[in-house]
Amino acid sequence: MTTRIATFAGEVARILNALRSLMQSYRLLGNLTAAEQILRIFVKTGSGLTPQGEAKEKLLQQIQTSLRMGMPIPMSLTIAHGLRAPNPLKYEDPFGPPTYAWLHSLFTFLLISERVKCVYQPGMQFFVFEEGHLFDELLEVPKGVVDRNLRMFQRLIDATSAPVTSINLFKEHLPEAEAVKLPVEVLEAEVHAFVCSSPWMNDPEVLGDLYVRGDKPYELIKERVGRARWEEMRQKALRKSQTLALRRHNGIFRHLVKKATGMDVAGRMIDGAITSKEGRLSIKATGGALFNHGMPVVDWRRNTCHIVPQYRIGSDFTVGNRSFPLGKVLISPAEFGEEGATYMWCYESLDSVSGATPDSESK
């Protein structure tokens, strides 16, 4: 497998060039109001999931409120840019720095905002509420890792001029004493996902079942994991769900936005999510899998970023009926102003590499 050494400037330039290329060919549909055009952009660029009924009407009203005010359209998202899912099957180094997938998530936000500007010049403002310090203990991730990763992510925001305000959530914002009072149902799928994000879980069959469509053999999975361990993970999944449910009860996001920016977003901040969640607008920043749950496999020609558990990556990668050879891309933390050894930034489709970026080198 070939290896390329990337630079911070070169990787940022690559996605900004891709953004300009996509915008040159972008065209709006006619016969829609401004708010309808913008909602269509959210759906087509974000997830393809079209809100219906009352949910759709609420979104249109929120968009229209921003349009009347002449302000950027605010959207909230809760994301854990501060950590990787610390599982050894998903990453060779579960506590490593951000990968290219962090940058690709910004590409998605930039693309949505630039397309919205074709309709409404103020564009978007994404408020990303960072979960790293909320769940570092639950996931057994050192606080120093979270702090480093958030610094590196902020450098990417600054370098791309992405319309993203990163706001840290801490345990005092969503106190456990209040969260545990909330009646929250935890699904088996949520427990399974927590199992597969844990440092101790190294059984490929258990992780493989996570990606099986349709009914999953949960009783068999519990036997493989151990029922005591499964119940331990259920309690962790419950704690996480209760914490996130509390935000809807105490209105903390609006308060934190006002504190960080002075902006009042009452009645117009869209409740977004990077996975499919009932009652929230889905914006899938890195396709069908979460950016911090596996290594990015990138096809530069198609501007696609597949998130793949490390144990599944070989010298070739298959999508549908198409198979292509892969190369490794490394980067140094020094490119971000941090200390540490050169690490895996992403895998790239060699079929999509028309030449290394000007300030990178191959070996």
3-state SS, one letter per residue, for the chain: CCEEECCHHHHHHHHHHHHHHHHHCCCCCCCCCHHHHHHHHHHHHHHCCCCCHHHHHHHHHHHHHHHHHCCCEEEEEEECCCCCCCCCCCCCCCCCCCCHHHHHHHHHHHHHHHHHHCCCCCCEEEEEEECHHHHCCCCCCCHHHHHHHHHHHHHHHHHHCCCEEEEECCCCCCCHHHHCCCCCCCCHHHHHHHHCCCCCCCCHHHHHHHCCCCCCCHHHHHHHHCHHHHHHHHHHHHHHHHHHHHHHHHCHHHHHHHHHHCCCCCCCCEEEECCCCCCCEECCCCCCCCCCCCEEEEECCCCEEEEECHHHCCCEEEECCEEEEEEEEEECHHHHCCCCCCEEEEEEEHHHCCCCCCCCEEC
Phi-psi region of 337 (alpha: psi -120 to 50; beta: other; left: phi over 0): left
pLDDT reading at 64 higher than 60: yes
Average pLDDT over every residue of 172-189: 91
Average pLDDT over every residue of 343-351: 93
User: Rounded CA gap, 343 and 300, in Å?
Assistant: 20
Q: pLDDT tens digit string along 136-151?
A: 999 999 999 999 999 9
pLDDT score recorded for residue 354: 52
pLDDT reading at 362 higher than 60: no
The mean of the pLDDT values for the chain is 89
Q: Which residue has the tokens 């690490």?
A: 343
User: Rounded CA gap, 227 and 230, in Å?
Assistant: 5
pLDDT score recorded for residue 287: 63
Maximal CA-CA distance, the chain: 58
Q: pLDDT tens digit string along 182-227?
A: 999 999 999 999 999 999 999 999 998 887 767 889 999 999 999 9
pLDDT score recorded for residue 47: 62
pLDDT reading at 2 higher than 70: yes
User: Whats the size of the chain, residue-wise?
Assistant: 363
Average pLDDT over every residue of 4-19: 96
User: Rounded CA gap, 16 and 293, in Å?
Assistant: 24
pLDDT confidence of 342, banded at 50, 70, 90?
Answer: very high
pLDDT score recorded for residue 152: 97
Output the pTM of the full model.
0.90
pLDDT reading at 302 higher than 60: yes
Average pLDDT over every residue of 167-196: 92
Q: What is the identity of the amino acid at 216?
A: K
CB atoms within 10 A of CB 340: 12
Q: What is the identity of the amino acid at 81?
A: H
pLDDT score recorded for residue 11: 96
More confident residue, 266 or 166: 166
pLDDT reading at 45 higher than 90: no
Q: Which residue has the tokens 């911070």?
A: 8
Average pLDDT over every residue of 164-174: 93
Asked if residue 74 lies in contact with residue 265, where contact means CB atoms within 8 angstroms, the answer is: yes
pLDDT confidence of 363, banded at 50, 70, 90?
Answer: very low
Average pLDDT over every residue of 240-251: 83
Average pLDDT over every residue of 272-296: 79
pLDDT confidence of 48, banded at 50, 70, 90?
Answer: low
Q: Of the ranges 22-26, 60-64, 317-321, which is most confident?
A: 60-64
- CA-based torsion, 271, 268, 71, 114: positive or negative: positive
pLDDT exceeding 70 applies to what percent of the chain? 94
pLDDT confidence of 276, banded at 50, 70, 90?
Answer: confident
pLDDT reading at 135 higher than 70: yes
Q: For 205-238, b where at least 16 C-beta lie within 10 A, e where not — what string?
A: ebbebbeeeeeeeeeebbeebeeeebebbbebbb
pLDDT score recorded for residue 49: 65
Sort strands 281-282 and 270-273 into parallel, antiparallel or unpaired. Answer: parallel
pLDDT reading at 244 higher than 80: yes
